[in-house]
Amino acid sequence: MAGRHDVRQSTRGGVCLYMKTVPYGKLMTLDEIRQVLANDHQSDIACPMTTGMFVSLAAKAHAELSVVVAYWRTLKKNGELNPKFPGGLEDHQKRLETEGHRIIARRDKLFVENFWNALHRLR
């Protein structure tokens, strides 16, 4: 049927698993996680809402010490920092700068400069 897409809903475990593969100094984006999840399940796309929600849950679980995952290495589209992470933008920026990334401001948002040079490819 034309215009029909197979949408894969992300799972918390799958998202967290991919986040745990990102080494020190490297980065990934929500879009990268979504693309790999979709490919793994022969789907057109993975749901952006549930993927974002599970990334946020992994970050909160790390803050509560129930999971160890370097959530700050996961960025939004175009290398944007995530204000919903524990500690907000200030903590996200500090953690990324500790790993050698330079943060720049564009309008009212923060981004990792040249983030694509540090992307960790899942596939």
pLDDT (0 to 100) of residue 3: 47
CATH topology (fold) of 9-116: Arc Repressor Mutant, subunit A (1.10.10)
Report the C-alpha gap between 123 and 110 in whole angstroms. 27
β-pairing verdict for 109-112 and 103-106: antiparallel
Q: What are phi and psi of 106, to 5 degrees?
A: -130, 115
Domain ranges (residues) in the chain = 9-116
Q: Tens place of pLDDT for every residue, the chain, 123 residues?
A: 444 455 445 566 788 899 999 999 999 999 999 999 888 888 888 888 999 999 999 999 999 988 899 999 999 999 999 999 999 999 999 999 999 999 999 999 999 999 999 999 887
pLDDT (0 to 100) of residue 11: 63
pLDDT (0 to 100) of residue 118: 98
SS3 call for 42? coil
Report the C-alpha gap between 8 and 23 in whole angstroms. 26
pLDDT (0 to 100) of residue 12: 60
